[in-house]
Amino acid sequence: MNQNLSSLSAGRHWLTIIITFCLVALAITLRPMEVSANRAEVLSTRVSISLPGEPDILKTWPEPDSTNNVIWKREEVRKGDSLARIFKRVGLPFSALHEIIHSGNLGKELKHIEPGQIFEFGYSQERFTQLRFTISKTRTLSATFSKGRWTTSEKLKNVEVRNEYAQGIIRDSLFAAGNKAGLSDTTIMQMAEIFGWDIDFALDIRKGDRFSVIYEGQYVNGEKIGNGRIIAAEFINRGKIYRAAYYTDNDGNGDYYDPGGRAMRKAFLRTPVKFSRISSRFSKKRWHPILKKWRAHKGIDYAAAHGTPVLATSNGKISFKGNKGGYGKVIFIQHGQKYMTVYGHLSSYAKGIRKGKTVQQGQVIGYVGSTGLATGPHLHYELRMNGIHRNPLTIKLPQASALAQKYMLGFQKLSASLFNQLALLNPPQATALDDEQTTDVFTR
Ligand SMILES: [Zn+2]
C-alpha cells in the first residue's frame, strides 16, 4: 500500500518535473529575459498541484463504517502482544474476549496474531458490538454482537493469479541469483525443493548453472500481494537439464512431474534436514574425535543448529525410539521390508512420535541435538538396505509413482507449452564458467 502511494507520488513528481522543464524551455525560447520569474511561477504551481490528493489517499484507510452509527477504534498489534493485552489496552473486559473466541471455529483464529496486524473495535451507542481483524491482504474476520451473542464471519477478497517469469544464472549463490531475477526467498526455496531429489543444492551447484521459472503472482485489486506456487521450472546443473511442471489430477492431487510424466519426488528425501551443511561423509575409515581412534563412519553427519527439525526421509513405521549408546537419543524408521533409516544425536522427539507409529515423508520426527557421542549439534543419518549400511548420498533410490496413464495426455498437452516457454527464457549459451568451483548456494 505504502509502496504504491510513494510510487504514485514519485510518478507525479517526475511528471511535474518534466512539465516544469518543458515550460521553462518554452519560456527560454520565447522570452529569454524573464526566465527566472517564469520558473518561480511554475515551481509554485507545482507545489499547489502535488499537495492535495495525497493526504486524502492516506486518510481513506481504514474505511470508517458509518452504517448504524458505529464508531471504530483502530489498534495495531505490537511486539509481544496478546489478545488479552490488546483488549485491556482499549479498555474492554476479558469476558468479551472470551465470548468472541468461543463463538465458533473462526473465533479461535483470532488467537494467532502478529505485530502489524490491525484490530478494529466498533462501538454503537458506546457499546462494544463489533470486532474486525485483518488477517492478511485477502482475509478479514468479523465478530458481531447481536441478540445477546457474538457471531463470527470471514470476508475473502478475490485473488487474481497471473503467470510471472524469471530467469537467472548462478554467479555467487542460488539466493543471490534468485533475488536478482526478482524471485522471493520462498520461491527460491520452492525451486530447491522441486529439484532437491536430483540436485544436491548443498554440493552440486556450480557457477554458470542456470534456471528459469514460471510462477503464480497473486494480485488483489491490481496490487501485488504475494507469490503462489511454481507452475514450471527448468534448472541446468553442470550442463544437465532438469525440468518440472505442476499438474493436478481429477482428484485434486497436485505434484511436480518431469516431461516424461515421472514424479520429481523420489521414495526417499535426499536430506533429512533442511539446508544444513554436511560435516562428515560416509567412509570406511575416519578419525573419531571423541573415541580418538579410526573407525568407519556409516552415515552422514549434517551440522545444523540445535533444535533444527529432523524429517523422516520416507513413509514408514517407527521401529525404535529412545537412547542407544553413542547414538544418544535416536529414531529408527522401517520403510517396507528393504529399507531402514536412522536419526541420531537428537535433542528431543517430535510430539506423538513413538514406536509403531506411521510417519509420512517430510514429517518432523525430532530435533537436532548432541546427545550420545557428539562434539556439537548435528544429525547422524544412516540408510540401511537389507540390513547393510549404504551411502545415502550416492545410493540410487527408488522413484515415487509416475502420473497415471489416463492423465498423461492432459499433462503433456499442458506441460509442452510451459517447457517451451522455459526454454525460451533460458536459451542455451556458452557459459562454461569455472566448473570445478563450488559455490555456496545458501548464503547471500
Ligand atoms: Zn555420524
- Residue 347 lies in domain: 277-390
Q: Is the CB of residue 215 less than 8 Å from the CB of residue 187? A: yes
- Rounded to the nearest angstrom, the distance between the alpha carbon of 122 and the centre of ligand 1 is 59
Are residues 303 and 364 located together in one domain of the fold? Answer: yes
pLDDT bin (cut points 50, 70, 90) of residue 393 is confident
Are residues 71 and 145 located together in one domain of the fold? Answer: yes
Are residues 294 and 385 located together in one domain of the fold? Answer: yes
Is the pLDDT at 344 greater than 60? The verdict is: yes
Give the residue, 290 or 41, on which the prediction is more confident: 290
* pLDDT value of position 205: 87
Mean pLDDT for the stretch of residues 361-379: 93
* pLDDT value of position 396: 81
Mean pLDDT for the stretch of residues 376-396: 90
- Rounded to the nearest angstrom, the distance between the alpha carbon of 12 and the centre of ligand 1 is 62
Mean pLDDT for the stretch of residues 329-357: 94
DSSP 10-37: HHHHHHHHHHHHHHHHHHHHH-GGGHHH
Which of 198-207, 231-240, 250-259 comes out lowest in average pLDDT?
A: 198-207
* pLDDT value of position 157: 87
pLDDT bin (cut points 50, 70, 90) of residue 356 is very high
Mean pLDDT for the stretch of residues 403-420: 92
The answer as to whether 209 is a domain residue is yes
Query: What is the Cα–Cα distance from 160 to 400, expressed in whole angstroms?
Result: 33
Mean pLDDT for the stretch of residues 94-113: 85
Give the residue, 43 or 390, on which the prediction is more confident: 390
* Ligand 1 is an ion; residues with CB less than 5 A from it: 299, 301, 380
Cβ-based burial of 19 (10 A; exposed 0-12, middle 13-18, buried ≥19):
middle
Is the pLDDT at 405 greater than 50? The verdict is: yes
pLDDT bin (cut points 50, 70, 90) of residue 406 is very high
Are residues 53 and 121 located together in one domain of the fold? Answer: no
CATH code, domain with 238: 3.10.450.350
- Rounded to the nearest angstrom, the distance between the alpha carbon of 275 and the centre of ligand 1 is 17
The answer as to whether 442 is a domain residue is no
Q: Is the CB of residue 40 less than 8 Å from the CB of residue 33? A: no
Are residues 187 and 260 located together in one domain of the fold? Answer: yes
Which of 271-275, 306-310, 388-392, 409-413 comes out lowest in average pLDDT?
A: 271-275
Q: Give the three cell numbers for residue 126.
A: 458506546
- Rounded to the nearest angstrom, the distance between the alpha carbon of 363 and the centre of ligand 1 is 21
pLDDT bin (cut points 50, 70, 90) of residue 144 is very high
Radius of gyration of the chain measured on its C-alpha atoms: 29
* pLDDT value of position 25: 44
Query: What is the Cα–Cα distance from 48 to 14, expressed in whole angstroms?
Result: 15
DSSP 138-162: TEEEEEEEETTEEEEEEEEPPPEEE
> pLDDT over 70 for what percent of the chain?
77
pTM: 0.55
- Rounded to the nearest angstrom, the distance between the alpha carbon of 190 and the centre of ligand 1 is 28
The answer as to whether 45 is a domain residue is yes
Are residues 305 and 235 located together in one domain of the fold? Answer: no
CATH code, domain with 316: 2.70.70.10
Beta bridge partners of 134: 118, 140
Q: Is the CB of residue 106 less than 8 Å from the CB of residue 153? A: yes
Are residues 137 and 220 located together in one domain of the fold? Answer: no
Domain count, the chain: 4
Query: What is the Cα–Cα distance from 91 to 105, expressed in whole angstroms?
Result: 25
Q: State the pairing for strand pair 254-257/309-311.
A: unpaired
- Rounded to the nearest angstrom, the distance between the alpha carbon of 385 and the centre of ligand 1 is 18
Q: State the alpha helices, DSSP H only, in 122-219.
A: 174-180, 185-195
- Rounded to the nearest angstrom, the distance between the alpha carbon of 395 and the centre of ligand 1 is 17
- pLDDT digit string, tens, across residues 4-50: 444 444 445 554 555 444 444 444 333 333 333 333 323 322 322 33
pLDDT bin (cut points 50, 70, 90) of residue 213 is very high
Q: Give the three cell numbers for residue 261.
A: 510424466
Is the pLDDT at 236 greater than 80? The verdict is: yes
Is the pLDDT at 179 greater than 80? The verdict is: yes
Mean pLDDT for the stretch of residues 112-129: 90
Longest alpha-carbon distance in the chain: 96
* pLDDT value of position 23: 44
- Rounded to the nearest angstrom, the distance between the alpha carbon of 418 and the centre of ligand 1 is 43
